[in-house]
Amino acid sequence: MMAPLLEEEENYVRLALLLKGVSPRAVRTYFDREFPPTHLPSTLNTNYNTLQDLKLKRVLNQAQWNLLFPRNVYLNFSSAIFAGPCSQGEREQGPANSWGEYPSELSSNIFDVIGVPDFITFDVIDVINYNSFDVIGVPVSTTFDVTLMICLIRNLTSVTQPINGFDSLPLPVETTPGPDLARIKWYRNILAHHDSNKMATGDFNTAWSNISI
């Protein structure tokens, strides 16, 4: 039987659950209100120059950039894809594609393409001597973590910033969405750099009270 957690250990676990389990859902709800998923690609494209500037300043890293602007996926076929039934002679020459058969229809459900949302489907019918095509990646907000969502909110929306900015702990009297997001950011950063799995009760109570404002 496992020994019960010490109070300081329980403090750490409770704060971690709040910051990594509950808070991200609240941030995502606010993010989707500011950036409706159906308009997200066009919004990011409209703000491309601003986002590129953030990347040059290293506010955004390459991994985050790839989520905002997924790279195209290039699919290549070594030979023709035939439409309709094949003749005996064609079959004797070998398969026209890597699946070993001659499909009359090429559908997106054949592929598992990373970076392409589920709602995109396509059919290529009666294609002859078709060697390659591009699939353009589309950003999907469900792949964004809390850090990226807060970064986009603070730089692309009119959210009211905390008095001392997003990189400081807001004052208790600041209770608008901007300061709330800054508090989550602040304490997630503290937790990420915490050097043990324990937290003093006084520090825990202060953090819990601040985040729950």
Q: 72 and 47 in contact (C-beta within 8 Å)?
A: no
Residue 76's beta-bridge partner residues?
132
Encode pLDDT of 45-84 as tens digits. Answer: 999 999 999 999 999 999 999 999 998 644 444 444 434 4
Encode pLDDT of 156-212 as tens digits. Answer: 999 999 999 999 999 999 999 999 999 999 999 999 898 889 999 999 999 999 988
Whole-prediction pTM: 0.68
CB burial of residue 9 (10 Å; 0-12, 13-18, 19+): middle
Query: What integer pLDDT is reported at residue 128 of this predicted model?
Result: 37
212's tokens: 């729950």
Query: What integer pLDDT is reported at residue 119 of this predicted model?
Result: 39
